[in-house]
């Protein structure tokens, strides 16, 4: 399987996912594969959930963040890393940096969820804030990388980040056996691209679908039109999927390996969040519910199939979580 690389880019391959798996072994949690009889009855499918809300720092992002920092040279590690993130990647980089003894600088939006900002600061990162509706975080990151000699590790558009995220699907397929379908949420597509690399290498007949919020379907538009479509920052409760465009690394991989990208509504995310809390005793953040909501709503037809569902994370502040779980009065 070869994927045509855009000029000047070396795309990650499944071999890089295997290398990442070696780097994170014993550091990242090997999260379980979970089943739910209620979910199976509801969908007529055989669903296997990969609960990355139980990952270190509460999301799959630890996999890619740790892998990307661990891959740096000793001199790069000494100088430190910089990134920008609306939350979970920030925590992943801050936490991985602390574990690896690498200084971290994080550029975060002013309106990032309070729990995520507090957790990131708690891991010892230096935090710089910006306005995500008016300022360009890429430019801020590039400027800091240049002026301070830091390595920029963006949240999704980086080969080692993509490879690290792919270890989630590698574990799921190795633990649960072959799948007919794999459902993965996307923002910038790092998790989806990495998981597609792993799924297609281990289980070539598995059809991989991306799932994004209705309000922010730039990935769907991009896949269907054959070029990266940029949209305004979408308003959705799925804050981890508010990324307005796919990456130069993630898009060609998604184009080559992903069947389709479907969308679900914020209401469907809330219903899935309640399902996870009530039936599976799992705290899942809105973005983490995207893949499951595609199965529950029929956005991807799953009846009669064996289906992997990645639950991407569980970092939701308790006040919002309580509101989501409270039935409308
Ligand atoms: C970052 C994130 C996503 C989106 O991941 P991408 O690699 O940008 O597609 C989805 N869910 C959660 C919980 C996240 O933190």
> Of all protein residues, whose CA lies closest to atom 1 belonging to ligand 1?
240
Rounded Cα–Cα distance for residues 65 and 107 (Å):
15
Decide if 14-59+159-325 and 62-152 have a common fold. yes
Ligand 1 centre and the CA of 195: distance in Å? Answer: 12
Residues linked to residue 34 through DSSP beta bridges, in sequence order: 49
- Ligand 1 center–CA 27 separation, angstroms: 20
Could you identify the residue written with the tokens 């890089």?
A: 16
CA of 186 to the centre of ligand 1 (A): 6
Q: How many CB atoms lie within 10 A of CB 29?
A: 15
Mean pLDDT over 248-274 rounds to 98
For the CA of 243, the closest atom of ligand 1 is 8
Spatial strand order in the sheet of 181-185: 46-51, 306-311, 181-185, 207-213, 258-264
Q: Which tops the pLDDT comparison, 284 or 138? A: 284
| 231, pLDDT greater than 70 | yes
Residue showing tokens 């639950």 = 311
Note the pLDDT of residue 138. 84
- Please state the separation of Cα 115 from the chain's center in Å: 18
Q: Residue 248: how many CB atoms within 10 A of its CB?
A: 14
State which of 59, 92, 115, 258 you would mutate to test the pocket of ligand 1, scoring each by most atoms of that ligand within 8 A of its C-beta: 59
Which positions are annotated as active-site residues?
A: 61, 86
pLDDT at residue 217, as a whole number: 94
| Res 211: pLDDT | 98
Confidence category of residue 236, pLDDT binned at 50, 70, 90: very high
> Domain 62-152 adopts which CATH fold?
Rossmann fold (3.40.50)
Does the Cβ of 284 fall within 6 Å of ligand 1? no
Q: What's the rounded Cα separation, in Å, for the pair 62 and 92?
A: 5
Which among 234, 241, 190, 193 has a CA at the least distance from the CA of 87?
241
- 124-182 pLDDT per residue, tens: 999 999 998 888 888 998 898 999 999 999 999 999 999 999 999 999 999 999 999 99
Q: Rounded to 5 degrees, what are φ and ψ at 80?
A: 105, 170
Residue of 60, 194, 238 best suited for mutating to test ligand 1, as the one with most atoms within 8 Å of CB: 60
> How would residue 111 be classed by pLDDT, with cut points 50, 70 and 90?
confident
pTM of the model: 0.95
Q: What pLDDT, on a 0 to 100 scale, did the predictor assign at position 302?
A: 98
Kindly report the three-state secondary structure assignment for every residue of the chain: CCCCCCCCCCCCCHHHHHHHHHHHCCCCCCCCCECCHHHHHHHCCEEEEEEHHHCHHHECHHHHHHHHHHCCCHHHHHHCEEEECCCHHHHHHHHHHHHHCCCEEEEEECCCCHHHHHHHHHCCCEEEEECCCCCCHHHHHHHHHHHHCCEECCCCCCHHHHHHHHHHHHHHHHHHCCCCEEEEECCCCHHHHHHHHHHHHHCCCCEEEEEEEHHHCHHHHHHHHCCCCCCCCCCCCCHHHCCCCCCCCHHHHHHHHEEEEEEECHHHHHHHHHHHHHHCCCCCCHHHHHHHHHHHHCCCCCCCCEEEEEECECCCCHHHHHHHHCCCC
Name the percent of the chain lying above pLDDT 70.
Answer: 99
Please report the sign of the dihedral spanned by the C-alpha atoms of residue 64, residue 219, residue 213, residue 182: negative
Backbone angles phi, psi at 268, to 5 degrees: -65, -30
Pocket test for ligand 1, best of 68, 287, 310 (most atoms within 8 A of CB): 287
Tokens of 233: 């920052």
For the cut 70, the answer to whether the pLDDT of residue 219 exceeds it is yes
Do 36 and 47 form a contact (C-beta atoms < 8 A)? yes
Confidence category of residue 85, pLDDT binned at 50, 70, 90: confident
Pick the CATH number of 14-59+159-325 from 3.30.450.40, 3.40.1180.10, 2.60.40.10, 3.40.50.1100: 3.40.50.1100
Structure confidence at residue 116 (pLDDT): 75
| pLDDT above 60 for 329 | no
| Ligand 1 atom 3, closest CA | 240
Positive/negative CA dihedral, 130, 135, 137, 143: negative
C-alpha 196/C-alpha 209 separation (Å) is 9
Do 269 and 238 contact (CB within 8 A), yes or no?
A: yes
Distance 302 CA to ligand 1 centre (A): 23
Which atom of ligand 1 lies nearest, measured to the CA of 191? Answer: 7
Task: Determine the average pLDDT of the residues in 272-280.
Answer: 98
Give me the residue spans of the domains in the chain: 14-59+159-325, 62-152
What mean pLDDT, rounded, does the chain reach? 94
Lowest mean pLDDT among 55-64, 111-120, 201-210, 264-273: 111-120
- For the Cβ of 312 lying below 6 angstroms from any atom of ligand 1, the answer is yes
If you average pLDDT over residues 85-107, what whole number do you get? Answer: 92
Mean pLDDT (whole number) for 20-30: 98
Q: For 111-121, what is the mean pLDDT?
A: 81
Q: What percent of the chain has pLDDT over 90?
A: 82
pLDDT at residue 1, rounded to an integer? 59
- Using pLDDT thresholds of 50, 70 and 90, give the confidence band for residue 86: low
pLDDT at 324 over 90: yes
Which range of 79-88, 203-212, 313-322 scores highest in mean pLDDT? It is: 203-212
Ligand 1 center to residue 187 CA distance, Å?
A: 5
* 238 Cα–ligand 1 center, Å: 9
Pairing of strands 104-109, 207-213: unpaired
Task: Name residues whose C-beta falls within 8 Å of residue 283's C-beta, 6 or more positions apart in sequence.
Answer: 53, 276, 277, 314, 316, 321
CA-nearest residue for atom 4, ligand 1, is: 187
CA of 93 from ligand 1 middle (Å) equals 14
Asked if residue 242 has its Cβ within 6 Å of ligand 1, the reply is no
Q: Is residue 64 lining ligand 1, measured as CB closer than 6 Å?
A: no
**Would the CB of 236 count as within 6 Å of ligand 1?**
no
pLDDT one-digit tens code per residue, 177-188: 999 999 999 999
Question: How far is the C-alpha of 125 from the C-alpha of 103, rounded, in Å?
Answer: 7
| Closest to 69 in 3D by CA, of 85, 88, 52, 82 | 82
Q: What is the band of 120 on the pLDDT scale with cuts at 50, 70, 90? A: confident
- Ligand 1 contacts CB of residue 243 (under 6 A): yes
Q: Is the pLDDT of residue 244 over 90?
A: no
């Amino acid at each position: 399987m070869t994927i045509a690389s855009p000029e000047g880019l070396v795309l990650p391959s499944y071999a890089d996912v295997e290398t990442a798996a070696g780097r994170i072994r014993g550091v990242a949690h090997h999260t379980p594969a979970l089943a739910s009889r209620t979910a199976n009855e509801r969908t007529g499918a055989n669903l296997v959930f990969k609960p990355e809300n139980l990952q270190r720092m509460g999301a799959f992002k630890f996999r890619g963040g740790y892998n990307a920092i661990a891959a740096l040279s000793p001199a790069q590690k000494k100088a430190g890393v910089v990134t920008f993130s609306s939350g979970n990647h920030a925590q992943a980089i801050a936490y991985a940096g602390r574990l690896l003894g690498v200084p971290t600088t994080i550029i975060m939006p002013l309106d990032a969820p309070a729990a995520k900002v507090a957790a990131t600061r708690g891991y010892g990162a230096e935090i710089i804030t910006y306005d995500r509706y008016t300022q360009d975080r890429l430019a801020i990151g590039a400027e800091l990388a240049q002026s301070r000699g830091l390595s920029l590790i963006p949240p999704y558009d980086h080969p080692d980040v993509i490879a690290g995220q792919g270890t989630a699907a590698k574990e799921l397929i190795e633990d649960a056996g072959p799948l007919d379908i794999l459902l993965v949420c996307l923002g910038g597509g790092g998790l989806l691209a990495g998981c597609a690399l792993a799924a297609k290498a281990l289980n070539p007949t598995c059809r991989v679908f991306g799932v994004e919020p209705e309000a922010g379907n730039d990935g769907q538009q991009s896949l269907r039109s054959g070029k990266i479509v940029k949209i305004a920052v979408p308003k959705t409760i799925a804050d981890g999927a508010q990324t307005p465009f796919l990456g130069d690394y993630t898009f060609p991989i998604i184009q080559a390996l992903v069947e389709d990208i479907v969308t679900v509504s914020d209401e469907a995310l809330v219903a899935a969040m309640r399902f996870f809390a009530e039936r599976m005793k799992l705290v899942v953040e809105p973005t983490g519910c995207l893949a499951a909501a595609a199965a529950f709503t029929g956005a991807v037809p799953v009846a009669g199939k064996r289906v992997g569902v990645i639950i991407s994370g569980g970092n939701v502040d308790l006040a919002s979580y309580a509101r989501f779980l409270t039935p409308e009065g």
